[in-house]
Amino acid sequence: MEHTCFDNRELSWLKFNVRVLEEAEDETNPFCERLSFASIFQSNLDEFFGVRMGSLYDQMLVSGDIRDNKTNMTCQEQIYACFDQVKLLTQRKDSAYADLNKEMKTHGVEIVTYHDQIDAKDAQFLDAYFEHEVRPLLAPQVVGKKQPFPFLKNKAIYAVVILGPRKSSKSDKKSDRKNDRKNEKNVKLGIVPCTLDVLPRLARIPDHPNRYILMEELILHYVGRIFSHFEIRSKSLIRILRNADIDPDEDMYDDDTDFRQVMEQLVSRRRRLCPIKLEYTRVMDESVIDLLCKYLHLKKKHVFHSSSPLDLSFFSTVRDILRNEKELFYEKYTPQFPETIDPKRGMMEQIEEKDRFLFFPYESIDPFLGLLREAAADPDVLSVKMTLYRVANDSKVVEALLEAAENGKNVSVLVELRARFDEENNISWSRRLEEAGCSVLYGLDRLKVHSKLCLITRKSGGHISYITQIGTGNYNEKTSRLYTDFSLMTAHQGIGAEANEIFTRMYLGEVTEEAEYLLVAPKYLRRPILEKMDTQIARARAGMSAYIGAKMNSLTDKVIIEKMIEASQAGVRIELIVRGACCLIAGVPGKTDHISIRSIVGRYLEHSRIYIFGEEDPEVYIASADFMTRNTTCRVEVAAPVLDADIRKRVLHIFRVLMEDNVKARIQRADGSYTRTQPGGADPLLAQNYFMIRENR
């Protein structure tokens, strides 16, 4: 059978989440890290349903004829194909949870249910705990004519019970049978919210070192007491996921509309968007599922059964309980201060001597924070300009910008209010920046600003000069310890002038259309990339060495993919490291024979982006953009050339080490599946560990 060169984006992303689940299953990982991967798997899947499935659902309602441009699948076909895969994934997750729960007991932590052995003393405590601590906080409801089906919060857990009339103790069996059919019409639905923010999700059972019961399990067990005037026919736990895909409507971009208010309204609206997924535990009668689907306006395809808890976020509490068991966690690693930077000298002086480079999380973000603080205090600094997409809740980056404004610098910040799930945080920071006297822009009409760009402008001796920082990741101190990213700091005046032009264009509501050094989406990133690929194609056809290398989070841009296929057919050797969704399939005979694709999932989230063109004296770029259509044509993104010979050599070395990882890397096969690499005769090489050792020298 002939293999296609294209994979569906959503199905490919699910393959990525399988790789996350594999880390939860991998017994070579420390136990508490496996708990973390299981929790990440579930939160990833929640976001996938809210965003990707939500987007497809919206498109399907608008037009059923919209098709994926790579596999020609309709929105409904994509949704149902994903649902089929998710049902299989849920079974695998349930199996992984059972194994983790069993192993948890060996480490002294036990999560029990009432199916387990609970002695009389424990039962007595739980009785009292429920009556005095839990029951007063509950808001049960019986659905009926005067009590409509309640609004179910996104991701919250609810106990659902089928309630029948309580039989009289004086009735005989004959009358019971006669009344059963009559009473069926009186069956009602009871609902109890189980997500109680004021109480811990894990209720501790005294007289045991670490024995707990989940709050929803406790409530479900005592639900008969709540609905004491009814007979409990069946009971279960449910959880729904709602569409989380919010985008401003066209009329919201009106010049008279405050965009920050628009985003606040949209974030509020997200909480009430339509349900996309219904999950339940235990055995639920088909008639109950039908009833819930009716109330929630869902089809049965949207209903998923799980034998494990519906929300695994409580694993973070288990990790905290076991925090002192060091062997159950990754060995602690502290980001190092770079050897190439002198902590006793000013950052601006060192950058003017030579470009400087940071490799997170192996190197500390402190030199960049030092640069911002230095700029805030330097009397020669006139202005600081910056793009902010995601920042920490307690951001030292923003604090440095506030300090600069207080010191009289002209601080201009583009805060992207549409950074998904960070909207509220960014709205809050935008207010603080404005209050401090900063000039704040909320983004561009219909274009997200995703670039990681900072420009410091100085005037000394009558001359204007620039220091520019370009990164692959967000200005977030927390994620700089968890994500692999690059930060390039340069005093190259050509790059600085182009960065200044980028900011000027954005403040005018425009975008950069051409540049000499920087690649700038949406107008000038895809085109030069294709041209550089064409150069390699021409070299291959002329019998010369030709090479393309790239590392990114996702690869979905069909135009770039088609150019890669053309390059492979011309004989260009292509090496790709794609962590997440990848719509290109390597190794297809006659089409992608010269392409290899691998994904690395490990301790740190691989987030850095690298573009390499050529084998001899290659052009090397670091970038904020993946090769996704949304990045290349729908966002403001910046890729910067690595001009310093030492830094270019280092980036190429980093790429090569990642390509040689034979522990956490998975290789894509010609059928689109991924398999772990086999060390074979080579020594095991875990790239992330290699970098930790190297940077710790």
- Active-site residue set: 450
Could you check whether the bond before residue 522 is cis, i.e. omega within 30 degrees of 0? yes
Written as one letter, the residue type at 184 is: E
**Both tokens assigned to 40:** 């990440």
Residue 556: phi and psi, rounded to 5, are -135, -10
Give residue 80's identity as a one-letter amino acid code. Answer: Y
Amino acid at 273: L
CB burial class (10 A; 0-12, 13-18, 19+) of residue 682? exposed
C-alpha–C-alpha distance, residues 75 and 58, integer Å = 9
Q: How far apart are CA 398 and CA 417, in angstroms?
A: 15
User: Is 625 in contact with 607 (CB distance < 8 Å)?
Assistant: no
Q: What is the β-pairing status of strands 410-415 and 439-441? A: parallel
Nearest to 402 by CA among 368, 440, 365: 440
Hey, what are 412's tokens? 């201009």
CA atoms within 13 A on the CB side of 570: 24
- The answer to whether 577 and 639 have CB atoms below 8 angstroms apart is no
- Helix, strand or coil, per DSSP, at residue 228: coil
Rounding to the nearest 10 degrees, give the CA dihedral for residues 84, 89, 91, 92: 150
Q: Which residues pair with 521 in a beta bridge?
A: 637
Secondary structure in 3-state letters for 231-297: EEEEEEEEEEEECCCCCCCHHHHCCCCCHHHHHHHHHHHHCCCCEEEEEECCCCCHHHHHHHHHHHC
DSSP per position, 473-520: S-S-TTGGGTEEEEEEEE--HHHHHHHHHHHHHHHTT------SS-EE
Q: List, in sequence order, the alpha helices (H) in 625-697.
A: 629-633, 645-659, 687-695
Q: What is the DSSP letter of 148?
A: P
Q: At what angle do helices 558-570 and 526-541 cross, to 10 degrees?
A: 10
Q: What is the DSSP string of 350-402?
A: HHHHS-EEEEETTB-SHHHHHHHHHHHH-TTEEEEEEEESS--TT-HHHHHHH
